[in-house]
Amino acid sequence: MPAYSMEEMVLEGQMEVKELFEFVINNAEAMDAYSMEQGIFSRIMSIGLAAMKGYFAQKGTGDVGDVLELEDGTILRREKRLLWKDYFSVFGKFAVPRTCYRAKAIDGVMPLDAEANIPQRTYSYLLQEWMDLLSIRDSFSEASFTLTLQKTSGILLHFDYAAF
C-alpha cells in the first residue's frame, strides 16, 4: 500500500465538504435542527479524517535516505517496505505509513514517530487527553463508552478546561 498523497487527501476533503453542503441543501426542509446537527457533525468528522491523512501525506514517511546514523554512531539501514501504525484520532482510525531503519539486534527506528510526535500507544494525544478528562468524572470504561457513543451518535463533546 502506498503512502498517502496530499493531492488525494485534498480531493477527498473537497468532496466531503461538497457532500456536507449537499446534505444541508437536500435535507433542510425535512429535518429538525437536532438531526441536522448530527448529520453535519458526522460529515465534519470525515473532513477532519481526510485532513489528518493530508497532514501525514505532507509530513511524509520519515524517509531520511538509505541509512540513518544514530547519535552513538550506529548505522541503520532503511527497510524496503513501509510499516503502518494504527492511529486513533478524534476524527477516526487510520494507519500511518512509516519508514523503518534497522540493524541486527537493534529495534527498528521510525524517524517519523519523533518528527510528528506520534504516541507509542495507538491513541492520539488529543484523544488521550479527552479520555483523561472523562476519566476524572467517570471510570475508564465509562469514558471509553462515552467517546464511542459520541462518535456513533454524532454528539460533539465540549470540554470546559477551566473547570478541571
Identify the three-state secondary structure at position 29: coil
Q: How confident is the model over 100-140, as pLDDT tens digits?
A: 999 998 889 999 999 999 999 899 999 898 888 776 665 66
Same domain, 48 and 67: no
Which structural domain, as residue segments, surrounds residue 20? 1-59
Is pLDDT at 148 greater than 70 in this prediction?
A: no
Same domain, 66 and 114: yes
Same domain, 4 and 26: yes
Tally the domains of the chain: 3
Please give the pLDDT value at position 24: 98
* Inter-residue contact 124 to 88 (CB < 8 Å): yes
Same domain, 53 and 74: no
Other beta carbons less than 10 A from residue 45's beta carbon: 19
Same domain, 66 and 115: yes
What predicted TM-score, i.e. pTM, was given to this entire model?
0.77
Q: Which of 43, 59, 75 is the last residue of a domain?
A: 59
Average per-residue pLDDT in the chain? 86
Q: Which of 34, 59, 84 is the last residue of a domain?
A: 59
Closest by Cα among 76, 48, 47 to 63: 76
Q: Which of 21, 43, 59 is the last residue of a domain?
A: 59
